[in-house]
Amino acid sequence: MTHKQIVTATINGELTEFLCEPHQSLLSCLRDVLSLTGAKEGCNDGNCGACSVILDGRLVNSCLVLGVEIEGREVTTVEGLAGWQALTPLQEAFVAYDALQCGYCTPGMLMAAKSLLDRHPNPTDGEIRAWLAGNLCRCTGYDKIIRAVRAVVPGTAVAPKTAEAPETADVLQTVLETASVDQVKEA
């Protein structure tokens, strides 16, 4: 019989305490214990990037990290990128450049892109491609995703904002919520 352990970590800027099994993945803790369903379970072996989060400033696959390993550490999930009232420029670019379709890979792609831009604020297209290589997308192809990331790099053209921007933000939120609901239904 295993005993649950208390884990205290900063998740999306908030000190959080939760109970988890010693063998439980961070992905499972985020989704099943903390109800943060943005990170998706795709492969559960670190090959698809759908579960990507930022742990202490480093991009990781949350399916490969144990929940107990984040004790005293800082985790940022896709839910921590922006508040519900506004999207980040990166999220806006994903919408403006149609860099999402089904939405399943989108949270992982956003986290990988954020991690890249945090470390390399002016990446080349080759660097963007290399950095996103750990994230699989079966719907969009990668060109639109590359363009969306490129759009937020200083000195490049940003997608024009239109009067439809709030509606577009609602579309992204709906896609992310729908993907989360579908994942819960499958579990």
pLDDT tens across the length of the chain (187 residues): 679 999 999 999 999 999 999 999 999 999 999 999 999 999 999 999 999 999 999 999 999 999 999 999 999 999 999 877 899 999 999 999 999 988 999 999 999 999 999 999 999 999 999 999 999 998 877 899 999 999 999 876 544 444 344 455 555 555 555 554 444 444 3
Q: What DSSP element (H or E) covers 75?
A: strand 74-76
- CATH dotted code for 89-186: 1.10.150.120
Q: Which two tokens stand for residue 52?
A: 């990507």
Q: Looking at residue 13, what is its pLDDT?
A: 96
Q: Looking at residue 84, what is its pLDDT?
A: 77
CA distance 61 to 80: 16
Q: Which residues of the chain does CATH 3.10.20.30 include?
A: 5-80
Are 146 and 125 a contacting pair, CB within 8 Å? yes
CA distance 46 to 9: 22
Number of neighbouring beta carbons within 10 Å of residue 144: 17
Q: Looking at residue 83, what is its pLDDT?
A: 78
Q: Which residues of the chain does CATH 1.10.150.120 include?
A: 89-186
14's torsion region: left (phi>0), alpha (psi -120 to 50) or beta? beta
Give Cα 59 to chain centroid, integer Å: 10
Q: Looking at residue 178, what is its pLDDT?
A: 52
Q: Looking at residue 85, what is its pLDDT?
A: 82
- pTM for the model stands at 0.82
Q: Looking at residue 2, what is its pLDDT?
A: 73
CA distance 117 to 54: 12
CA distance 159 to 96: 6
Distances (CA, A) of 158 to 8, 35, 70, 97, 141: 39, 33, 36, 10, 21
- CATH dotted code for 5-80: 3.10.20.30
